[in-house]
Chains A and B, each alone.
Chain A
Amino acid sequence: MLVLTRKPGETIAIGKDIRISIFEIDGRSVRVGIEAPKSVSIYRGEIYQKVQEQNRQAARQGLNADMKLIASKLSKNMSGSAENPPFIQNGNKKEQFDEQ
C-alpha cells in the first residue's frame, strides 16, 4: 500500500484517468473529491466490504441451507393477496432507513 500525506488543496493522480483531490479537513473528517471515468465504480470501503461479505455468506450457505424449506415458508407468506404480500410492509418501516 502506498501511503502519502497530503494537505487540503493537494491532489493524487492514479494512472492517467483518476484524480483525487483533498478539499478540507473538518475536525476528524476529510473531504475528498474523486475524478474517474464513469465506468469506474467508487464506493465507501465499508459498504464494499459488507456486500462482499454478504456474497460470500450467500455462496457458502446456499450449499448448506435448506433452501427448499425456506422457499416453501416464503411461498406460504406470499400466497396472500397479490397487492399486499404480508412481509413487504417491513421494508417500509422507518428503522430500516438508517445508514447501515
Chain B
Amino acid sequence: MISVEVETEKMVFSPVLGETSYQEDEVVLFPEGLIGFENNRRFIIKTKDGFKPFHWLLCLDEPGLLFPVIDPFLIMKDYRPRPSGNELQSIGIENSHDARFLAVVTVGQTVDQVSVNLRGPIVINTSRNLGKQIILMESQYLVKHPIKAGRHNN
C-alpha cells in the first residue's frame, strides 16, 4: 500500500486580495517579524494580475495586515544592498545569491507620490522560506525613495 501525501491547499481571507489560497510551502517565516511588527511572523507573498509589478506580503497571523512590496532592482537597477556582519545568518543566508530582496511601498497624498524603502529592505532566503527586514548601514539609500509613478522621466 502506497500512501501519498498531498499538499493541502489552504485559504485565508484578506482585504484587497479577498479569498486567497496558498500552500504550506509558500509560507515564509520571519523569526523577528518586520520592523515595528515583531510579533507578525508568518507571511505569504502573493502576486496578482492587475497589481504587477507590485506583490503583496500578507500576514497569516493577522490577515488584515498586508504590505505592498516590489522588487527593488526594478526601481534601481544598480541597487547594492550590503547587509552588515552576520545580519543574514539568522535566516541562513551565506551570500546574497540565496537572497531575494523586496522593498515596502508607500503611497503619498497622491497616486504620483509612490515611494519604496530601499534603506530597510526585506530579505528572503528562498530555499528555506525564512525572511527578515534589515536596515542598511549605507545612508545613500532612502526609507522613502520616490519612484514617480505616472510621470515621464525628464
Contacts and interface: CB of A to CB of B under 8 A. Distances in A.
Does more than half of chain B's interface fall in helix, strand or loop, or is it mixed?
loop
Contacts of B76: 88, 91-92
Contact of B53 (A43, A75, A87, A96): A75
Given A67-B16, A78-B74, A87-B75, A62 B66 contact: yes
Contact of B135 (A47, A59, A63, A89): A47
Contacts of A98: 139
Contacts of B51: 67-68, 71
Interface in B118-145: 118-120, 133-135, 139-140, 142-145
A61 B144 CA distance: 14
A65 B50 contact: no
A39 B140 CA distance: 24
Interface residues of B, number: 56
A69 B152 CA distance: 16
Contacts of A58: 67-68, 104-106, 117
Interface in A43-91: 43, 47-48, 50-59, 61-63, 65-71, 73-78, 85-91
Contacts of A69: 111
Interface stretch (B4-12, B19-27, B82-90, B93-101): B82-90
Contacts of A66: 111
A1 B133 CA distance: 26
B120 A51 contact: yes
A87 B15 CA distance: 30
Interface of B: 15-16, 34-37, 50-54, 56, 64-68, 74-79, 85-87, 89-90, 104-107, 111-112, 114, 117-120, 133-135, 139-140, 142-153
